[in-house]
Amino acid sequence: MNVLQITSDWKWTGPAEPMLRLALALRGRGHEVALAAPPPPPGHGRSLVEEAAAASLAPALLLGRARGLRPLRDRGDVRALRELLSARKIDVVHAWHTRDHLLALRAAGPRRRDGVTALVRSWRRFEAPAATPWARFVLGPGADSVVAVSPRSADGLRRLRGGRAVAGIFGAVDPDRFHAAAPDADGAAIARTRDALGLPPDALVVGIVARLQAHRRFDLLLAAAQRCFAAEPRARLLVVGRGTRRAEIAEEPAKALGIADRVVFAGYRRADYAAVLRAIDVFTFLVPGSDGTCRALLEAQACGIPAVTSRRGALPEIVEHERTGLVVDEDPDALAASWLALLRDPPRRRALGAAAASRAARLFAPSRFAGEMEAVYAEALAARRRGRATAARAGDA
């Protein structure tokens, strides 16, 4: 198949990495894969275009940086996209956001009617949108298939699809970088990372990777940490992530609770991210962010780190309660008790971590991700062709 991955977001965030990982895995399976994405603005941060070029997948089309749908403004993008679909004989367009979905819908209109191009949409949040007429169109006849972040998430989208295809597919992580037996996973390497972070050698570390935003429940995190610290002097909290309101949301509340000396803010990490992740004894995750696949949690599981999570979104599907971690109520006492149960029981922690790594190797591998997506593409394209054949027979009659 010839596949076009299209996104209207230039940033290296949310679904950007899963999309690139999927594209590379599809190439490895023998498919032709092209990318359409906007270039980064001047003075930008990390961008998808740069990461894709470094992975030998430079965009075949640079889209305009824009938000929302404006038919006149978007004419150039639609025209260039239509030319690309024709020149590359694209079989499947996979859109990841609403703006790029609508651009693809306009550009591929004639090809879809002729049954030669299918349009697949990823829905990156766990919750389905409200069943408005617009949502029913965009996520109904506006896509040949919709891909949700998990099987349970797919159930919520079916009411919008009117019997059309829906798939629930877990995300994927880099198996080399986040494998439980990677080079930086040995005790000496972890000790060096902890020392660089200012963590004591005997620290029992609860860690979270999340953007510092109020809706990610840092109030709950810090309240649970206070209870955990009161019961276990060696416990520490490691917060990996950035946010413009970090002081307001986390640093000042930690000081007010009297626990600032036991909370380490590691900021945003890049080259040493996997090593910092491995410095964690128990991973915790409370509220999914913009990417409902919960990529940081998948990475921690692949590293063999047991997790304690809430029941939000896909978290109870990613973490098997009592097998690869614990799924608990959003209550500071329950959260602290679960952390302590694992921190104080190294054999149990190791067993849960080993099960997490084994499950991640099966469920969160790029090869599995690409194989399931390949099946979605094939069925969407087959449905398009069946529709064209049906229309042709009706015309002959």
Separation CA 124–CA 139 (nearest Å): 13
Complete DSSP assignment for 180-194:
TT-GGGSHHHHHHHH
Query: So what's the pLDDT on residue 393?
Result: 54
Q: Does residue 133 surpass a pLDDT of 60?
A: yes
The whole-number pLDDT of residue 394 equals: 54
Q: How far is CA 242 from CA 41, 195, 266, 269, 293, in A?
A: 20, 21, 9, 9, 19
pLDDT confidence of residue 179: 81
Convert the pLDDT of each residue in 344-381 to its tens digit: 999 999 999 999 999 999 999 999 999 999 999 999 99
What pLDDT score does 68 carry? Answer: 79
Which pTM does this prediction carry?
Answer: 0.90
Opening angle at CA 146, ends 145 and 151, nearest 5:
120
Q: Is the pLDDT of residue 209 over 90?
A: yes
**Is there a contact between 227 and 312 (Cβ–Cβ < 8 Å)?**
no
The confidence score (pLDDT) of residue 95 equals 97
CB 262 within 8 A of CB 197: no
Each residue of 220-253: pLDDT tens digit? 999 999 999 999 999 999 999 988 889 999 999 9
Report the C-alpha gap between 167 and 151 in whole angstroms.
Answer: 7
* Cα dihedral 315/317/318/321 (nearest 10): 90
pLDDT tens digits, residue range 272-298? Answer: 999 999 999 999 999 998 788 899 999
Percent of the chain with pLDDT over 70: 97
Element (H, E) at 128: none
**pLDDT tens for each residue of 5-40:** 999 999 987 778 889 989 999 999 999 999 999 999
Domains of the chain with bracketed CATH = 2-172+365-396 (3.40.50.2000), 183-363 (3.40.50.2000)
Question: pLDDT of 165-191, one tens digit each?
Answer: 999 999 998 878 888 777 667 788 889
Mean predicted confidence (pLDDT) in 126-145: 93
What's the pLDDT at 265? 96
Total length of the chain: 397
Neighbouring CB atoms inside 10 A of 290's CB total: 12
394 or 289, higher pLDDT: 289
Q: Which of 3-7, 68-72, 142-146 shows the lowest mean pLDDT across its residues?
A: 68-72
pLDDT of residue 391: 56
Task: Give the model's pLDDT for residue 389.
Answer: 62
Pairing of strands 263-267, 204-209: unpaired
Residue 237 · residue 328 · CB < 8 Å:
no
Question: Mean pLDDT, to the nearest integer, of 92-121?
Answer: 92
Q: What is the DSSP string of 140-205?
A: TTT-SEEEESSHHHHHHHHHHHTT-EEEE------TTTS-TT-GGGSHHHHHHHHHHHT--TT-EE
- What is the C-alpha to C-alpha distance for residues 227 and 230, in angstroms, rounded to an integer? 5
Take residue 389 and report the two structure tokens written for it.
């054949």
Residue 343 has pLDDT above 60, yes or no: yes
Q: 66: buried, middle or exposed (CB in 10 Å: 19+, 13-18, 0-12)? A: middle
Average pLDDT of the chain to the nearest whole number? 92
Does pLDDT of 392 surpass 60?
no
Q: If pLDDT is split at 50, 70 and 90, which confidence band does 214 have?
A: confident
